[in-house]
Amino acid sequence: MSAPSIRVALIGYGFAGQTFHAPLISATPGLRLSVVGSRDAGKVQADHAEVAVLTDPFAAATDARADLVVIATPNDSHAPLARAALAAGKHVVVDKPFTLDLAQARELAALAAQHGRLLSVFQNRRWDSDYLGIRQVIDDGLLGEVAHFESHIDRYRPQVRERWREQAGPGSGLWWDLGPHLVDQALHLFGLPERVIASLATQRPGAQVSDWAHAVLEYGARRVVLHGSMLAAGGSPRFLVHGARGSVVKSLADRQEAQLLSGMRPGAPDWGRDEDELILHDGEATRRLPTPAGDQRRYYMAIRDALLGHGENPVTPAQAIAVMAVLEAAVESSVSGRAAVPALSDNERAAFA
C-alpha cells in the first residue's frame, strides 16, 4: 500500500457514490480518491477534477492506482465487482446490501480470507446521531432490560421514481434498500434473533417492487420491530424503545444525508449536529437528553485504521453475512406467512459473536 495516503477507487457515481462515498472519503485524512468508475466523466470531474475516470467498472476495480476499492453500484453488480477487486489484490468496501444472497456473501468472505484482504460493508448508519443516542440510553441502563424496540425509516414519496431501486430486478425494492440499515443496527445492539416474522407489500400505484416492509425479530420475550414505508406523510418516530425502567423516543432522523444533499461537507461546523432531543419517560416524569452528534466519517476512519494495522474492520464479513441471513429470513417469512430462522451455520453464528 502506498504512503502516505491509501488510494481509493470508487465504482459508481450515482446517488450513493456522489452523495455519501465521495464526500466521506475525501474528508477522511489518510484516504485519497484517485479513480472513479463512471460513464459520466463530466459529472465526476465537476466535483473531483483531479481523479481519473474509467468507464469500465471492472477496469476501475482492478486499476493499479488503487489500494482500496469502494463499490457503490446497483446491487446486482456488487458480487462480480467485489470478486474482481479481491482477485486483483484490492481491499474492498461494498455498499449495502452486501450481495443478492447468502451464497454470494459467503463466497466473497472466503475469497477475502484466501487473498488476505479486508472486506467490509458500508453500514454508515451506525454513526447516525439518532442511533448513537438510542444506543447510549440503552448502554447506560436508563431503560433497564429492553422489552420492545421499534425502528422506523418512513418517508412520503407517493410517486414511483425512475431509478433502478424502484424497478423490478434482483436486489431492488424497499426491503433491500433500507432493510440492511435497520437489520444491522438491530444486530449491533442485540445480536442474532431466534426467529423473524415479516411482511412485505407493494402499495403505491404503479410500483413494481415492494415499498412497505415490516419485520419482527424475536429474542426470547423481547421484540424488535423494523419498519419502512413510502406512504407516511405524517412521519413516525425514528426510534421507540420500552424497557423495565422506562421508555425513550427519538422523533427525528439524523441530518447528515440532508446536510450532504445541501452541499455541506463532512466536518463543517454543525456537521452531524442533532438538536432533536431524546425524550425519556420513567413512568412518573419525563426528561430530555441531548442527542450526540453523528459522524459517518468514522466508518472510513475505521477502515483507514484497519488497513494501517491500528484497528479492526468496523463491519466484518461475519456481520455482513448475518445481516444477509436476516434479510433472507424476512423474505422467506413474507412469502410463507410463517416465522423463519436465519440460515446461519454454527460457525457463522460463532464468528458473528
What tens-digit pLDDT sequence spans the chain (353 residues)?
A: 445 699 999 999 999 999 999 999 999 999 999 999 999 999 999 999 999 999 999 999 999 999 999 999 999 999 999 999 999 999 999 999 999 999 999 999 999 999 999 999 999 999 999 999 999 999 999 999 999 999 999 999 999 988 888 888 888 899 999 999 999 999 999 999 999 999 999 999 999 999 999 999 999 999 999 999 999 998 899 999 999 999 999 999 999 999 999 999 999 999 999 999 999 999 889 999 999 999 999 999 999 999 999 999 999 999 999 999 999 999 999 999 999 999 999 999 999 97
Q: Which amino acid does the sequence have at 227?
A: H
Beta partners for 117? none
Beta partners for 153? 228
Q: What crossing angle do the helices spanning 78-87 and 102-115 adopt, rounded to 10°? A: 10
Cell reading at 111: 475469497
Cα 131 to chain centroid distance, Å, stands at 12
Dist. CA 15–CA 34, nearest whole Å: 19
Contact 240, 252 (CB under 8 A): no
pLDDT attached to residue 169? 85
Dist. CA 324–CA 84, nearest whole Å: 21
pLDDT attached to residue 4? 62
CB neighbour list of residue 300: distance below 8 Å, 6 or more residues apart: 24, 25, 28, 31
Contact 209, 166 (CB under 8 A): yes
Contact 344, 322 (CB under 8 A): yes
pLDDT attached to residue 1? 44
pLDDT attached to residue 301? 98
Contact 31, 8 (CB under 8 A): yes
pLDDT attached to residue 2? 43
Cell reading at 270: 454543525
Say how many C-beta atoms besides its own lie within 10 A of residue 69's C-beta: 28
3-state secondary structure of 63: coil
Bond into 97 cis (ω within 30): yes
DSSP H/E element including 196: strand 195-201
What domains, with CATH codes, occur in the chain? 6-122 (3.40.50.720), 125-295+328-336 (3.30.360.10)
- Burial grade of 205 (CB within 10 A; 0-12, 13-18, 19 or more): exposed
Beta partners for 225? 150, 216
Dist. CA 175–CA 199, nearest whole Å: 10
Contact 117, 1 (CB under 8 A): no
Dist. CA 301–CA 179, nearest whole Å: 24
Q: How do the residues of the chain divide into helix, strand and coil, expressed in percent and rounded to 5?
A: 35, 25, 40
pLDDT attached to residue 83? 98
